């Protein structure tokens, strides 16, 4: 049995479905919010679901023992500065304390593996466009980036001092199903908003803000497949793994690809806002030590095409 936390979040939900399809038994944990559509799909895939905020170590230990959980993929957490800055206590509890409890439980030999999902935002003050490897020293500045970096340090500390089999996976600007947005949401990045506006706008010329904004966009299927690949290592030989194409793309490039797919003219202004209001444009992350058994399948063009097809489908099945 695998414990996946943050099952009502984008990566937690998608990772749970991915493992369930591969015949793993999955126990999903959520805290407060529950998505009824997600719940229906999870139950269809026989994913067991419980509510737990991970702050009570004894309670979560009992859950692990009762369900014979052998591994954990930690996808919980406040996932963007726009949310973190107005909820400091929630951010610290979600991004640090819950993780610490699970690491302590792993130290007791209750878990064989633990993967912590982190973010390229820990490189917040690196404003160069150069590629960022897993060996680059992080420079967090905000509450969000700072708490995610503390989570990374905790994992590294437990791996070094207690020889636990744990690691960090950093991802960047994840997009794709089943995310749907009807209004501006910086947490989700520009792609879901732009696609939604295009699908619901029948004009031949469409205008957006923030053409100069750049990010290392990563399609959700690549994220799920990378987590699965790393998970199936017997031992995590690195403390930190990074998933990234090593390339940034601008919203101008997003617009150009979608113009070709949709046969519509998409125009951006030259600003970086509103996408940069709580985010910093930094160099793209990549992994210096290449994982020979894994390849990114979705470049921006293929990812946008797949995401658009999913959004257009009225009978989408995950």
- The pLDDT of residue 314: 56
- Using the structure block, give the residue that is written with the tokens 């302590």: 104
Closest by alpha carbon to 96, among 37, 155, 48, 19?
155
Answer with the residue of higher pLDDT: 318 or 56: 56
Q: Which two tokens stand for residue 237?
A: 């030989």
∠ at Cα 76 (130, 121), nearest 5°? Answer: 15
State pLDDT tens for residues 240-268.
999 988 899 999 999 999 999 988 899 99
Complete domains list, the chain, with CATH? 2-173+217-242 (3.40.50.720), 175-215+248-282+298-312 (3.90.25.10)
State pLDDT tens for residues 219-238.
999 999 999 999 999 999 98
What average pLDDT score do residues 181-201 get? Answer: 85
What average pLDDT score do residues 112-120 get? Answer: 97
State how far Cα 156 lies from the chain centre. Answer: 20
- The pLDDT of residue 298: 96
What is the reported pTM?
Answer: 0.94
Q: Are 266 and 203 in contact (CB under 8 A)?
A: no
β-bridge mates for residue 174, sequence order: 218
- The pLDDT of residue 196: 85
Instruction: State the Cα torsion 12-14-20-24 to the nearest 10°.
Output: -50
Over the chain, what is the mean pLDDT?
91
Length of the chain counted residue by residue = 318
Closest by alpha carbon to 69, among 52, 85, 83?
52
Distances in whole angstroms, Cα of residue 54 to Cα of each of 62, 68, 77, 135, 159: 12, 17, 11, 30, 21
- The pLDDT of residue 318: 44
CA distance 81 to 272: 17
- The pLDDT of residue 316: 45
- The pLDDT of residue 317: 45
**Three-state DSSP class for residue 82:** helix
DSSP state of 120: G
CA distance 304 to 109: 43
């Amino acid at each position: 049995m695998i414990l996946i936390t943050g099952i009502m979040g984008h990566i937690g939900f998608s990772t749970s479905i991915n493992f369930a399809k591969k015949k793993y038994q999955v126990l999903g944990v959520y805290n407060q919010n529950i998505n009824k559509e997600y719940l229906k799909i999870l139950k269809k895939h026989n994913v067991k679901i419980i509510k737990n905020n991970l702050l009570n170590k004894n309670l979560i230990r009992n859950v692990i023992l009762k369900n014979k959980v052998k591994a954990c993929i930690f996808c919980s957490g406040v996932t963007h500065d726009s949310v973190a800055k107005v909820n400091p206590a929630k951010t610290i509890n979600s991004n640090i304390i819950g993780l610490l409890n699970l690491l302590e439980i792993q130290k007791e030999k209750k878990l064989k593996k633990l993967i912590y999902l982190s973010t390229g935002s820990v490189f917040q003050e690196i404003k160069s466009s150069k590629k960022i490897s897993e060996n680059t020293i992080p420079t967090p500045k905000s509450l969000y980036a700072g708490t995610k970096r503390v989570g990374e340090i905790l994992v590294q500390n437990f791996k070094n001092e207690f020889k636990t089999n744990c690691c960090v996976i950093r991802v960047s600007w994840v997009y794709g199903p089943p995310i749907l947005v009807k209004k501006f949401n910086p947490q989700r990045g520009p792609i879901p908003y732009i696609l939604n506006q295009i699908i619901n706008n029948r004009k031949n010329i469409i205008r957006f803000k923030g053409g100069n904004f750049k990010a290392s966009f990563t399609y959700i299927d690549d994220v799920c497949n990378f987590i699965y690949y790393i998970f199936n290592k017997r031992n995590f030989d690195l403390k930190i793994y990074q998933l990234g194409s090593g390339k940034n793309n601008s919203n101008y490039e997003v617009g150009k690809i979608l113009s070709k797919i949709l046969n519509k003219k998409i125009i951006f202004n030259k600003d970086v806002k509103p996408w940069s209001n709580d985010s910093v444009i930094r160099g793209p992350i990549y992994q210096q030590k290449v994982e020979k058994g894994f390849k990114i399948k979705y470049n921006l063009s293929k990812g946008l095409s797949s995401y658009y097809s999913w959004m257009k489908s009225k009978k989408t099945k995950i």
